[in-house]
Amino acid sequence: MISVYLRFATRSRWVRRFCAMFFVAVGCCSLAPARGQNIDLEKPLHSISDDVTAFAFGPDGRMVYSVRQLLKTKKYDLQRDDIWLQDAGGRRRRILQGDKLVYSNPLFSYSVDGFRFAPDGHTILAELFVTLVTDDSGNTSDMQMALLLDDSGKLLKIAENKEFLFEASHPGWMADNSTVVFLKEALKPHLLFSMFALYHGDERARPVFEGRTFLDTAWFPRMSVALAVERDRNMSGPPRLQRLNITLESDQELATLESFNGGLSISPSGKLCAYYIDNEVLEVRDLTAPNRVARVRIGLGVYQWAPGEDRILLKRSPERKSGELVWIDLPPLAAVPAGQTAAIVQPTPMPLFHNLAFREFAISADGRFLALVAPGKHNLQVFPLSR
């Protein structure tokens, strides 16, 4: 019997180039305070005792999450995750039963990689890693795809398309709550991407900024605007940080970057961005005054902004791997004259939990809650988070 399980290792370019991995084994459960933080791991607000593969907070305090489900056929073992929605009070309901999802190729398997809520919080985009059985010999092909559904569980097709799934990576919602913009691979393997948009009423995706290629994107909240790192298709020029108006297809070049190694993100206010310039250094830039920059040596990992934007919470490991959670204070930004580079600051990491590793984490939009998935059974727990 051939098994077609989906890989959980990240496919992003910068993680595959990760060469300074820091793994932390589960150890003592005592806590180390960080700015008054006091989380009792024995008293979560909510606990989901399922094998959770992905989750995300919504803008209204709700949470969407997926649970691993295995499906056996005569020849194959497939995976098709269920999707659940939990309200702020902890009540939950399943909004998608994975084994009921219909696709033109019945021999398909998927895991949920992540979720993105539309700005109004009522429509959800699920990022999937899909494996298709392509012939009778059991050969397979993999691709990153997306699925749209509303909070009642209704699957949303794109106009007259017959399929619910469409090929997409790095997706983001526009301000109209119905337009999705995403990337498709332009230079393999996962080196450069082209941008496409699915507008409401379109039968198929339209190219956006046609002929241009990008390394990474991040999406301004509740705006039809993207932050992108652009690079020439022949990889000859330097990476350039661009602010892209998707509706008008207009751009504003913010900075020419010395280098870029992934992890692009926008702060909650939309005033700052951050990204790795190599395997060790995170660069923070003021989007309102792009010559104001700070650099911190923290090592590659997965991070999220604290609501105050003066620090980040860093998981010291790649995506889908377990690692220690530490707070990193960000230094003040300073204007850097043309031709010069910002000094690199070595911060002192502040462990959120002493020697305790987690596989996934997320901070709610209002900064009040922290959700954690521990290694092993991948159960999901939600705790109050001090600011």
Domain borders along the chain are 2-384
User: Residue 235 and residue 192: Cα distance in Å, rounded?
Assistant: 9
Whether 318 and 263 have beta carbons less than 8 Å apart is answered as no
Query: What rounded mean pLDDT belongs to the chain?
Result: 88
Question: Between the CA atoms of 62, 68, 71 and 77, what dihedral angle is there, to the nearest 10 degrees?
Answer: 150
Whether 190 and 12 have beta carbons less than 8 Å apart is answered as yes
Listed residue (116, 78, 69) closest to 96, CA to CA = 69
In this prediction, residue 376 carries a pLDDT of: 87
Q: At residue 9, does pLDDT exceed 60?
A: no
CATH class of domain segment(s) 2-384: mainly beta
Q: Average pLDDT for residues 209-231, to the nearest whole number?
A: 96
pLDDT class of 192 with cuts at 50, 70, 90: very high
Model-level pTM? 0.87
User: Residue 172 and residue 383: Cα distance in Å, rounded?
Assistant: 27
Write out pLDDT tens, residues 98-110: 999 988 888 899 9
Residues with Cβ within 8 Å of 385's Cβ and at least 6 positions away in sequence, in order, are 37, 39, 363, 364, 367, 368, 369, 370
In this prediction, residue 161 carries a pLDDT of: 65
Whether 241 and 288 have beta carbons less than 8 Å apart is answered as no
In this prediction, residue 64 carries a pLDDT of: 98
Residues with Cβ within 8 Å of 372's Cβ and at least 6 positions away in sequence, in order, are 358, 360, 361, 380, 381, 382, 383
In this prediction, residue 290 carries a pLDDT of: 97
Partner residues linked to 127 by β-bridges: 114, 146
